Amino acid sequence: MSDPRPIGVFDSGMGGLTVLRELIRALPDESFIYLGDTARLPYGTKSADTVRRYAQQAAAALVARGVKMVVIACNTASISSAAVAELLAPLPVLGVIAPGAKAALAAAPDGPVAVIATETTVKGGAYRAAIRALGSDIPIVQQACPLFVPLAEEGLVEGPIVEAIVARYLGPVLESMPRPKAILLGCTHYPALKGAIAKVAGPEIALVDSAKTAADAVAATLREKGITNSGGAAALSFLATDAPDRFARAGAIFLGQPIDPGAVELIDLQ
């Protein structure tokens, strides 16, 4: 039977819209509710306990809207996917770290792979653990890039200043031996800076964006659970915890299409 309930997607801000873009492309019959916790971003500099609490609050807000599945479109918050899944059981919950690890191995099966991510994601070693869980012992180097999220959220995604900051963070990665064959963009905000990252990294290094792999994993989960939507018009709505006008303006960069400011509802997760 067809299940017309929407899929809930959340992130600390607008970066998860890169995942939503791939979800819309892969699942055109599905409806989506996207929540950006813009009042409390970035999650990447918060403690693990705080991120877990924020993630559970965001997920609960989506459940209150009647979603059939929750996608944690935030690498930092995906570390708390088990806690969120426990809270929402039996509702399916999917993070982006496992799909990202799978995509990295597909791009560079023999390594080395560099993971660039937020401080919390790097300190927690989430991607290293996910790659090891897939049975791979390839060399992995990690680098925190804390300024990438605010740059992306401000729409500063190209130009000499952005490239200088990218070069500052990627320096240790590119100088590591052996040199990485792939760089995993371990934060959903980072694809907005993909052009600058590619320019600094050079054409010989593959850039891995987990969004498409995550969309494939969502599609597989819907089929497995028997909750796909096979009819009816698909709908798209947005929730933000601060500055809905700014969310609509800057969010269009991540989503790849205009967002009507009037379609962004302001909510409070406290």
Active site residues: 74, 187
Q: Let me know how long the chain is.
A: 270
Count each helix (H run) and each strand (E run) in the chain, helices first. Answer: 12, 10
Reference 189, options 24, 99, 75; nearest CA is 75
Tokens of 15: 């970066």
Cis peptide, bond prior to residue 90, ω within 30 of zero = yes
**What burial class does residue 190 get, using C-beta atoms within 10 Å of its C-beta: 0-12 exposed, 13-18 middle, 19+ buried?**
buried
Task: Return the ∠ at Cα 110 (arms to 105 and 113), rounded to 5°.
Answer: 60
